[in-house]
Structure formats: C-alpha cells, structure tokens
Amino acid sequence: MIYADYNSTSLLDEEVKTYLTKRINEGIFSNPSSLHALGRHQKYIIENCRKVCAKSLGASPNQVIFTSGATESIAMIFNQFSQEKKEIISSEIEHNAVLENLKLLKKQGCNISYFDTHENGVVDLRKLKTQKIIDLACLMAVNNETGVIQSYLEFAKTCHSLNILSFVDLTQLIGKQKFVFESSNIDFACLSGHKLGALPGIGILLIKNPLELNSLIRGGKQEHGLRAGTENYIGIESLAIVMNNLDSLMKKYSNLENVTIEFEKKLKEKIPNIKIFGDESERVSGTTLFSIPGLMSQAIQIELESNGIFVSTSAACSDNEPETSHVLRAMNIDDKYGRGVIRLSLPPDENEYNQILEKIVSIYLKLSKIGNFFDNREIKL
C-alpha cells in the first residue's frame, strides 16, 4: 500500500504509537482540573506539552491554546469579529473552514473582500496596500491542494505596518518549513495535529495577545480560561510528541525536495500534455497536484487505488464534489483541467515516487486508449 494523501491526514507517527500503547495501558486518567495529585499531575503534563509546542513554534506558552483542531481554531478567530461590522480581506484559496466563516460574517454585516490569485497559485497581496480600511486580513501559508507557499511573512509584516490584524493558516506549513511565531508579526494562526501524525481531534490556536480573545466554548478555566471543557490530554500529549520532533520531520521533507522535482520532470516527459499546478511557484515538497486533459479524476483515482495507491482528487473536505475546486477556480484554471485533478501528498521519509510514476504512466496509456471522458460529451450539472 502507498498512502499518498498526507495533506488530508498523516498516518499515526511511530513514536506516538509507542507512547500511546504504554500511556493507555499504564498511564493515569484523571481530570486536569481536579486538585488531587492525579489531577495536578495531568495538569502538569498538559503545561509541559504546551511548553514543548510553544518552543517548536517559536511562541510563548501562553500564546498556545489547545483546541479540537484547526477548524475550531478558525471559528474562534472569526468569532472575534462577529459582533461588529468589520472589514475583512482574505484569499479565495483558503480552506473552506475560513471561507464558510467569511460567508457567515458577510451575512452578519461584515464587509468581505478577496485578494486575486495568479494562475501559478500565488496570491496577489497588492490590495493590502490599496484598500482603505482593513480590520483583519487572512492568508494560508501553504495551499493544501497545490502546495504553493504564499509570502505569508511579507503579508504579516505589511499587515503589522498598516495596523491590520493578520491571520495565517499554518495547517500545511508546519512540519515542512520552519516557523517562528514570535518574529512573524502574525496575530492569529492555527494548525491541526492529525496532519502531523498526532491523533485526530487536537489542534492549536496561536494568538499574539491571548488576553484579548473572546471564548467560543465557555464555562471552565481550562486553557487560561480561553477554551473551556475538559482537555483532550491524550490528544495534547500525542501532539507534543510530534511537535518535539518537528526539526527531524522538516529535515526529511527538505531531503524530499529534489526527489519531488525529479519525479515531476519525469512525469512531464512521459505524459507531455500533463499539467502540474503551481509547478513554477515555490512549493512544499511531497505535494504534486496534476491533471491530464481528457482523463477524469475519479477514473485515475480508482485505477491507482486498484494498484494500492491512495490519492485524493482535491482537498479531502470537498472530495465529493465532481467540480473544479474553488482553489483552481481562483487560479483561473479551465474546467478541462480542473475536473481531472489528482493530488499526491507523500510522507517525508519514504520514496515511493518511482512506483507511483510507473503506475500513473500505465494508467495514462490505458485510459487514453479507452477514450476521452469529458472532452467528447456535455457535462450536465
């Protein structure tokens, strides 16, 4: 089996496996808010995990809020702006968790505008300087579909100089590139543990000024009173383990860089009409989003799957939509490419590219013989 859907969810980290096996069978389960020794011990472990995560992210421990994942973190951020008529600008290639909140804020009377996106997947940030009033600006550091790295540091620096609050979604960056919150000028950021090999159901909200946060989930003093509810301490511990190994993970992804480039070069040689999205932009290694005109995503996906290779047709969260994704639409990608998209997102320490290359080429040859799928017929939506 080749699992090439890491941008959706990473397989569970091996060190986390070992830790959890022992933890579950021998460790203590107790409420971190209980005053007795078991509770205090659990509370101590959580605070220790917070320090580990903070150190890995270049933040202070009090700037790290544990949540159930990036989606909750995002909801917390936008909750700050729900009661007022705010001016918010965002890219159009953000995750749906961001876009859906923006739709709601628009309904509630906020004014929402969007940056343009170039065909190479890079967001054009010029509106930051030309638009008169902006309260909050949103940009993902790395796009989950294309892997294109945005100039999020320049973005945050500009926001800071213009007195605009900035939110950067780090979900696809962490583990692949070094990040230092303290020097980043970013006000709000988020990430999800399950993208890094931690358990699902745990994530982080990074916030520059934690005292200014309004809670979304209230009722207890957990997380400095900013996120109530008994802590998911098993999730937190699993996250701290992967965050503690972040340097080694980044090194592995860095080593994968040339392999990715070589793979894509060969792919283009073998399939001349293939389109690799964002291939001329700076991207994280391991992610390749491509389309072969005439071949539909599902057909390629099923063929790959029958060969034990698991890929995504776009983002997992919108996998059910047989349409050009909102990311590719923002990049002005024609439907003839957009409906035939396959995303490979590989683990850092395995080199299964040769096998994947071989299979894609043979599938291409096979499906091309059967005929074009959507070039020859009208697609009714």
Nearer to a second copy among residue 84 and residue 124 (C-beta): 84
Nearer to a second copy among residue 43 and residue 176 (C-beta): 43
98 is a contact residue toward a second copy (CB under 8 A): yes
163 is a contact residue toward a second copy (CB under 8 A): no
Which of 2, 10, 149, 169 lies at the binding interface for a second copy (CB under 8 A)? 10
**Left (φ > 0), alpha (ψ -120 to 50) or beta: where does 35 sit?**
alpha
150 is a contact residue toward a second copy (CB under 8 A): no
- The identity of residue 326, as a single letter, is H
185 is a contact residue toward a second copy (CB under 8 A): no
Which of 34, 120, 244, 368 lies at the binding interface for a second copy (CB under 8 A)? 34
38 is a contact residue toward a second copy (CB under 8 A): yes
State the Cα–Cα distance between residues 80 and 4, nearest whole angstrom.
36
70 is a contact residue toward a second copy (CB under 8 A): yes
Nearer to a second copy among residue 110 and residue 128 (C-beta): 110
172 is a contact residue toward a second copy (CB under 8 A): no
Min dist. Cβ of residue 228 to a second copy (A) = 5
State the Cα–Cα distance between residues 66 and 223, nearest whole angstrom.
7
37 is a contact residue toward a second copy (CB under 8 A): yes
Contact 359, 310 (CB under 8 A): no
147 is a contact residue toward a second copy (CB under 8 A): no
Which of 15, 17, 299, 361 lies at the binding interface for a second copy (CB under 8 A)? 17
249 is a contact residue toward a second copy (CB under 8 A): no
Contact 207, 188 (CB under 8 A): yes
Nearer to a second copy among residue 24 and residue 365 (C-beta): 24
State the Cα–Cα distance between residues 205 and 222, nearest whole angstrom.
14
Which of 49, 53, 65, 68 lies at the binding interface for a second copy (CB under 8 A)? 68
Which of 86, 176, 194, 208 lies at the binding interface for a second copy (CB under 8 A)? 194
Min dist. Cβ of residue 40 to a second copy (A) = 10
Query: Which residues 285-304 are close enough to bind a second copy by CB under 8 A?
Result: 298, 301
User: 165-169 and 136-140 as β-strands: parallel, antiparallel, unpaired?
Assistant: parallel
316 is a contact residue toward a second copy (CB under 8 A): yes
Buried b (16+ CB within 10 A) or exposed e, 263-285: bbebbeeebeebbbbbbebebbb
| Binding residues for a second copy, total number by CB under 8 A | 68
Which residues of this protein are in contact with a second copy, per CB under 8 A? 3, 5, 8-12, 17, 20-21, 24-25, 29-31, 33-39, 68-72, 74-75, 95-101, 104, 192, 194, 199-202, 216-221, 228-235, 298, 301, 305, 310-313, 316-317, 319-320
